Amino acid sequence: MAQHYYTVTWDQLHRDARALAWRLIEAGPWRGIVAVTRGGLIPAAIIARELECRLIESISITTYDEERIGQSVVTKPPTAAGDGEGFLIIDDLVDTGTTARVVRGLLPKAHFATVYSKPAGKDVVDTFVTEVSQDTWILFPWDTDSTPQFVAPIARGPSRIGSG
């Protein structure tokens, strides 16, 4: 289990994905984008719009089971991207780098970009916007609902939630 949680809203994700597009515009032009599913789909759509890139491919890799990292399985390869030459790989997050290394193996000539990065995986990607600690679990907007709820002050710590 993660020790810390960081909630990303739809607005923040949109701003951060656009910030990533700003960093990537000069490194192009790009022939296409490979979205790492599922987390990379929405950032890839935003970045594709900002870079005016119309060729979108995807790669499906299963690595996580809830918050546990498991064996990586490629369930859909990015056939249209070849070896990645001229392609931009987009994912929401690089955590340990497990998924990213599999993608790199399939697309060695692509440029890999993520919106968020953790220390253990950041060496695998070429570009990212925001780094978070390794023990933080990012709650993306598609993982949460929009119901406002009470959040305890940080000073209470995780063991003190509900104590008063």
Max distance between CA atoms of the chain, in angstroms, equals 57
Q: How far is CA 95 from the centre of its chain?
A: 9
Asked if the model's pLDDT at residue 65 lies above 50, the reply is yes
Q: Is residue 59 part of a domain?
A: yes
Q: Is residue 70 part of a domain?
A: yes
Peptide bond preceding 29 in cis form (omega within 30 of 0):
yes
**92 catalytically annotated:** yes
68-76 vs 56-65, strand pairing mode: antiparallel
Q: Is residue 55 part of a domain?
A: yes
Domains: count for the chain = 1
User: Residue 47 maps to which CATH number?
Assistant: 3.40.50.2020
Q: Please give the sequence-ordered ranges of beta strands (E in DSSP) within the chain, or none if there are none.
A: 4-7, 32-37, 56-65, 68-76, 87-94, 111-117, 127-131, 136-139
Q: Is residue 108 part of a domain?
A: yes
DSSP class of 111: E
Q: Is residue 33 part of a domain?
A: yes
Catalytic residue among 11, 16, 65, 91: 91
74 CB neighbour count, 10 Å cutoff? 15
Catalytic residue among 11, 95, 143, 145: 95
Asked if the model's pLDDT at residue 146 lies above 90, the reply is no
**95 catalytically annotated:** yes
Which residue range(s) make up the domain with 65? 4-144
40 CB neighbour count, 10 Å cutoff? 25
Q: Is residue 161 part of a domain?
A: no
**65 catalytically annotated:** no
Q: Is residue 37 part of a domain?
A: yes
Q: Is residue 157 part of a domain?
A: no
User: Which pLDDT score is estimated for 64?
Assistant: 64
Binned at pLDDT 50, 70 and 90, residue 62 comes out as: confident
Percent of the chain with pLDDT over 90: 70
Catalytic residue among 16, 65, 83, 92: 92
Asked if the model's pLDDT at residue 159 lies above 60, the reply is no
Asked if the model's pLDDT at residue 140 lies above 70, the reply is yes
Query: What global pTM score does this model have?
Result: 0.84
- Measure the CA–CA gap between 86 and 135, rounded to whole angstroms: 34
